[in-house]
Structure 1
Amino acid sequence: MNRVALLFLVTAGLAGEALAAAEQASASSKPNILFIFTDDLAYQAISTYGDERNLLETPGIDRIAKEGMRFDRCLVTNSICGPSRATILTGKYSHMNGFYNNSNSRFDGSQTTFPKLLQKGGYSTAIVGKWHLMTDPTGFDYWHILPGQGVYYNPPMIDNGERVKHQGYTTDIITDLSIDWLKKRDKSKPFLMMTQHKAPHREWSPPLRLLGWDKDRKYPEPPTLFDDYEGRSKAVSDHDMGIDRTFTDLDAKLVVPGSLNEEQKAEWNKYYEPRNEEFRKQNLSGRDLVRWRYNRYMHDYLGCVKAVDENVARLLDFLDKEGLAENTIVVFSSDQGFYLGEHGWFDKRWIFEESLKTPLLVRWPGLTKPGSSTKEIVSLIDFAETFLDAAGIESPAEMQGRSLKALCAGQTPADWRKSLYYHYYEYPVPHRVRPHYGVITDRYKLIHYYKPDVNDWELLDREKDPLEVKNFYNDPAYAETVKKLHAEVERLKVEVKETEAPPRQAYGNRPFEGEPVKPGQPNARPNANRRKAS
C-alpha cells in the first residue's frame, strides 16, 4: 500500500472516530427516556409499596425505586385505560383531549403531544406494545402496537401500519421488540422509548412458564373482600364488577384462550385442568366460591405481574450492558391502579384509593436520590411536562400538569398542589360504575355520583377510615370540611376548564336505563358468562 493511500485511510479512520465521538456527545447532551408502562397494575402487587399481604416480590421493578424515587400518591384523573393514555400523551384532562372512555372515544392524533415535541426537538421516538387509542400513533419514528386490547399469547401486532403475527408471550415479545429497536436506533440522537405492556389487564393470563409459580398458595384476604356497602350510595352497591357476580369462565380459566396453539394448550391444560376438575367436584357457592375465585385470580394476576417484573429487569440490564444507564431516565408506571379483592372487586374506575392511586417509580441519574420517596400529590397529567422539562423543551400553555423534576430532586415547590380533580364518565357498561367526579386531598375525598339514577354525595376520610367503607358526608362534625371541599371542587372545575356539563358521548355508546335505543346503538347488557356466587 502506498503512503498516500495509507495516509488517506488513517485520516478517514480518525475522522470517523471523531464523527462517532461527536455524535455520541450530541446524543448525550440530553437524557434518554425509557418509559415502561403497564395496564391495570395494582400498587399492592409491587413489593416496594409494602402491602401487608406480601403478595409478590418484584425485584426488577423495585430496583428502580432503590436507585431512584418512589411516588406514594400518584393519582389518576379518570381511572380507565384509554383516557389515562391520552392524558399522558397530551398533558390534558379527558374533557380537554376528547378521549373520555373506552367505548366510543377516538384519539385525535393531530393534537400536540410530548412525543411530537421531543421528536421535533431532536429525539428518536418509538412506542411498542399496547396503544388502545383507536387511531394510529403520531409523533413516533417507530411504532409496533397491539390492535385494541391485544391478546396474551401469539399476538397479532401492527408494525408501522403493517399487520404482523408473533409467536410467544406478549409481555416477552414487547420487551424483545423494545430492545431490538434500541439496538438499531439512530445513536446520534437521544431517544424516547415507550414500552407499554398489556399485562396485567383482564383476563390476567400468565406465561406458561409461570403456571403454578405460587405453589397453590392460599392468599391472605383483604379486610373488605366481603364489603356489604352499608350506608353507602346506591352507586357503590349497584355495580357489576364484583368477584362474586362478574367473574366469567375466561377470568376463572375454566375455558382455554383461543389464541393458544396445540402445544401451548397442552401445557395450559396440564396445569389448569386437574385444578378445574377438583373445583367442579366441590360445587362451591357463596363465600366459598368467592374465596376460590379470589385465589385463582391472585395466581393469574400476580403471575402476569411477575412476568412484567422479569422483563423490567431485562430492560434495566440492557441499559447497563450498553452503557446507557447513566444518561437514561427510567420511569415506571401504569394507567391506573386495580382492585385485588378490596371491596369485593377487581377492575378500576372508582375514585377509591386502589384504582385512583397508580405506581410511579423514577430513576433519574444525577437528580433522584437513591431510595427516596415523596407523598406529594402527583398525577399522570404531569408526565408530559416532566419529559419535556428533562429534554429542555418548553411545555405548551395548553398542558394542565406540572413538571415533576423538582420533586425528583427532593425539592417541593411552595405552591405544589394540595388537591386534585377527578372525573370518571363511562356508563353503563362494562361494569355499571356510575359517572362521578370529586376532589382529592391528602386526607379527604368529596365525591358526587350524578348519573343516571343517583344524585348522591359522599365524603371519605382516609385518616379515620383508611379502608374507605364509611360515608361522613351527613355527619355534623364534618359540616365545615364538606363546605370547604365543595368550594374546592368548584375552584378546580374552573382551573381545569370543565365548567360545562359533559356531552352525552362522554359516557359511551350504550343507552342509560330508560333511554330509547337509537338506530345502530347497542343495548346495555351485563357481561356474558357470568356466574353469580349465591
Structure 2
Amino acid sequence: MKWIKLACVFVFFMAAALADDRPNIVFLLTDDQRYDSLGATGNEIIHTPEIDALADEGVIFDNSFVVSSACAPNRAAIFSGMYNRTLGVRDFSSDFTPEQREYLYPFLLKKEGYFIGFIGKWGVAATIASTLEPYRERFDYWRGFVGQGNYYTRDRQNRHLTQVLADDVEEFLDVVPKGKPFCLSVSFKAPHGPWNQYDRRFAEDFEDRGIPFPPTLDKYFVDQLPPFMRTFRLSLDGRSLEQFEQFHEKFVREYYRLILGVDEAVGRIRKALEAKGLADNTIIVYASDNGHFLEEWGFYGKWLMYEPSIRVPLIVYDPRLPKEERGKRVKEQVLSVDYAPTFLDWAGADIPERMQGQSLRELVEGEAPDDWREDWFYDYAFEMYPGDIPKSIGVRTDRYKLVRYISPRPQYEQLFDLQRDPLELKNRIDDPEYANIRHDLSKRLSEYRKSLPDNDPDFEEYVNTYEVIGIGADFPDAELDFSEVDEVGQTFTAATDHLMLVEWRWPFFISRYPDSGVDVVLRRGGPEGEILGETWIEATDIYNLNRSRASFEVAGLEPGETLYVGIRPQSKPGKRRIGLWRYTKDCYPGGEAFINGEAAGGDIPLAFVFRK
C-alpha cells in the first residue's frame, strides 16, 4: 500500500508541476478599431511602436474578421465561441442564459485552475448595472464597468481611462497568486467615441499630417447605394456628404490619438509582465471587437458587411515560439468565434462541442490545418427602431462576398469580387459573368442558415413565413413618460389574417427595472374596439434598449382592417421609469398614435409580425 500512496503523491506533484507550466493569457480587446489602423498593418500615418513590436515578435493575422460587427453581439461571440443566432444574443440588451455562462472561456479556464480577471467594458447586456452582478462575483479580479464608461470624469480630470485600465493591469499582476496560471481580459473603450476625448497629451499629434479622403467618400459612389442604406444613424445623425467631407480630417486625427493611448498602454503592460518575471510564459492576444468606417461611402460606425467594418487586427505574441516562427503573417480567414477555443487549447483544456469556432494554436505555431474554413457566415440583426441601420446576413470566401439585406422588400443583395474590386465598388449581383458564383454563394448561405440553429429569429429574414410591418423613419424625435400618461397606443393595418406579435425597444432613459410591468391589449378598430387579445410584459423585461415582444397569435383577421395595440403600466411608475419613443410627425400611413385613448398624431415605433 505504501508504494501506491507514494505513486499517488508523485502523480499529484507531477500534475501540479505541469499545471504551473501552462501559459498565462492576456487578452487585449480594443473597441471599434479597424484592421488598417496600425503601423503593422500598413498605416503610414499613425505610429504604434508597442503594438507593432508585438507583431514583429509574434504572429499577425491578415484576414481576421468578426461574425457580427457590433460591440455587444460580437463580444458575446468572443466569450462563448458561438455564433449570435445560436446564442440568442444579437443586440445590446440580451444576456447569456445561466447555462450559457458556464461555457464562457473565463469560467471554463477557472475550472481548470486559472486565476481570472476582467478589466474594462464588459459589453454584453451591459445597458443597466444589475446585469453585471452574475459576472462580477465569479471573477477573481474585477474592474469591469457598465455601458461605455467615460474617458474623463469629474473626479479624474487628468488621468485618461486608457491609462487607468493599464493601472488596473499592474494591480492585477500584484494580486495574482504566485505560480498560478492566469487569464486576464482587458477591454479598452478606445478608440470608440467620443473621439474628442482622447488623452490630452496627444493633442498635437497628426496636426501637421494631411489625412487623405477615402476614395469612396464621393458622390458618384454614394449615389450607387440604395436609399435604405442612407439611414439616420448610419450617416451619423443625418449628415450630408458635404458635412462628412468637412468632418473627415478632424475625426481621423482624433481616432488615431485614441489608438496612441492604447499603444502606450500595451507597452506599460509588457513592462509590468517583465518586472514580475512573467513575460516568458505569458501569451498576449491583441484584437478589436469590430472595425469602423472612416467615412467610406459616407458611412459612420460599423454594422455593415463592408471590409472596414468587419476586418480587425489580430496579433498573437507567444514567447514560447521559436525565432523562426515569429514575425510571420497568416493568410487564413480567422474569426472572433475562434478566440475562446484557442484560449482553452493553450490551457490544455477540452474545447466544448458547442463552440462553433476553431482553435488558432496550429496557425500560430506555423501549421496549416487541412480542414481550415474556406468561407464563413456573417449576421447583423440589431435594429433600434424600424428603419434603423439595415440588418444583414452574408457569406465571405477569400475572394467573394455575398450580402443579403433582410429588411427591404424585396430583400436586397450585393455580390463583390474582392480580388478585382477590393474597395467593393461594383455590385455584381446581376452580372451574367458571376451567375455561377452567385448561385454557389447563395447555396452556401442557405447551408449556413440551416446548420446554425437560430434561437432568436429575426422574422424579417424569413420572408416566406412572416410579414413584418415596421413603423420607423429617422431616430424618434420625442419620448413618452408613463408617469405622465396612462396608456399609449397605435392603430395599424392587418397585413394578413394572423397577427403573431408586436415588438418594440425601450428608450435609453430606463436605467433600472421599474416596480411593475405593463399590460398590452389588442383591439379591433381603435382604443374602444373589441378586445382580440391581452398579454403583459414583466418588469425585468423593461430596461434600456431591451426588446419586448407581446405575443397574441390572433387568427381570423381581415387583411386590411384596422387594429389597435395599447400599452399601459400595471401600476403608476415614477418619473422616467417606464416610457416609449415617439414620432411627432406622421411616418406610417396605415395608422396613428394615441395617448390616453385620444388620437395624438405622429406614430409609435413598433413592429407588427404577421404569419403568412
Please give the range of the TM-score, normalised by the shorter of the 2 chains: 0.7 to 0.9
Does the CA contact (< 8 Å) of 2:66 and 2:311 recur in 1?
yes
CA–CA distance in structure 2, aligned partners of residues 434 and 192 of structure 1 = 37
Amino acid at match of 1:320: E
> Which residue type is aligned with residue 223 of structure 1?
P
Show CA shifts across 1:258-301 (max 9, x none): xxxxxxxxxxxxxxxxxxxxxxxxxxx973x4333111101211
CA, structure 1 residues 451+191, in 2 after alignment: closer, same or farther (shift >3 Å)? same
8 Å CA contact 2:25–2:283 kept in 1: the answer is yes
For the Cα contact (< 8 Å) 1:207–1:303, is it kept in 2? yes
Distance 1:66 1:524, change over 3 A: farther
1:71-470 mapped onto 2 (5 Å cutoff): 71-102=61-92, 104-108=93-97, 110-111=99-100, 112-133=103-124, 134=126, 135-136=131-132, 137=135, 139-154=138-153, 168-204=159-195, 205-227=197-219, 228-238=221-231, 240-242=233-235, 246=238, 287=242, 289-367=243-321, 369-428=325-384, 432-470=388-426
- What one-letter code is carried by the residue in structure 2 that aligns with 1:523? W
Report deviation, 1:187: 1.6
SS at match of 1:144: strand
Residue 513 of structure 1: how far off its partner (Å): 2.6
Farther off after superposition, 167-176 or 289-298? 289-298
> Are residues 128 and 500 of structure 1, via their aligned partners in 2, closer, same or farther at CA, if it must alter by over 3 Å?
closer
Q: Higher helix share goes to which structure?
A: 1
Could you tell me how far 1:302 is from its partner in structure 2?
Answer: 0.8
- Structure 1 pair 342–155 and aligned structure 2 pair: CA distance change class (3 A): farther
SS of the aligned residue for 2:446 comes to helix
Q: Is the 8 A contact 1:207 1:304 kept in 2?
A: yes
- Point out where structure 1 has 5 or more consecutive residues left out of the alignment: 1-20, 157-164, 248-284, 527-534
1:524 & 1:41 partners in 2: Cα distance? 33
Distance of aligned partners of 1:365 and 1:495 in 2 relative to their CA distance in 1, 3 Å threshold: farther
Partner deviation per Cα, 1:402-428 (whole Å, 9 max, x = no partner):
100111111111110000000101125
Distance 1:458 1:95 in 2: 22
Whole-angstrom CA distance in 2 between matches of 1:485 and 1:87: 23
How far apart, CA to CA, are the structure 2 residues paired with 1:325 and 1:409?
Answer: 18
SS at match of 1:522: strand
Per the alignment, residue 16 of structure 1 pairs with: none
Residue 25 of structure 1 and its aligned partner are, at CA, apart by 5.0
For 2:120 and 2:583, how far apart are their aligned partners in 1? 30
- Code of the residue aligned with 1:114 in structure 2: it is Y
After TM superposition, give the deviation of residue 484 of structure 1 in Å: 0.6
Structure-2-length-normalised TM-score: 0.69
Flag the 1:168–1:108 CA change in 2: closer, same or farther, 3 A: farther
Question: Which stretches in structure 2 are left out of the alignment for 5+ residues?
Answer: 1-12, 463-468, 474-489, 493-503, 505-565, 568-577, 585-612
1:31 corresponding residue in structure 2: 23
Shift of 1:24: 9.9
2:52 matches 1:62: yes
Point out the structure with the larger strand share: 2
**CA distance, structure 1, for counterparts of residue 583 and residue 48 of structure 2:** 38
* Amino acid in structure 1 at the alignment position of 2:119: V
How far, CA to CA, are the matches of 1:371 and 1:93 in structure 2? Answer: 30
1:212 CA drift (Å): 2.0
Match of 1:46 in 2: 38
Alignment partners' CA distance in 1, 2:370 and 2:71:
32
**Cα offsets for 1:311-369 (capped at 9, x unmatched):** 01111122222221211110000101111222222311011100111110001222372
Within 1, Cα distance between the matches of 2:426 and 2:233?
Answer: 20
The 8 Å contact of residues 45 and 209 in structure 2, kept in 1 or not, is answered as no
TM-score (norm 1): 0.79
- Is 2:511 aligned against 1:522? no
Change (3 A) 1:108 1:149: farther
Whole-Å separation in 2 of the counterparts to 1:447 and 1:169: 39
What letter matches 2:472 in structure 1? E
Deviation at 1:431, TM superposition (A): 9.1
Counterpart secondary structure, 1:43: coil
Bigger Cα displacement from structure 2, 212-221 vs 119-128: 212-221
Change (3 A) 1:475 1:231: farther
Q: CA deviation at 1:236?
A: 2.9
- Matching of residue 497 in structure 1 with residue 453 in structure 2: yes
CA gap 1:85/1:499 in 2 versus in 1, 3 angstroms: closer
Does structure 2 conserve the Cα–Cα contact (< 8 Å) formed by 1:452 and 1:512?
A: no
> How many angstroms does 1:383 deviate by?
0.6
Aligned equivalents of 1:522 and 1:175: distance in 2?
A: 39
Q: CA separation in 2, counterparts of 1:45 and 1:344?
A: 19
Other structure's SS at 2:294 match: coil
The amino acid across from 1:480 in the alignment is: N
**2:588 aligned partner:** none
Residues 23 and 189 of structure 1 are in contact (CA less than 8 Å); yes or no, is this contact kept in structure 2? Answer: no
Offset of residue 457 of structure 1: 1.3
| Separation in 2, partners of 1:451, 1:403 | 34
1:241–1:347: 8 Å Cα contact kept in structure 2? yes
2:217 partner letter: L
What is the distance in 2 between the residues matched to 1:64 and 1:513?
A: 46
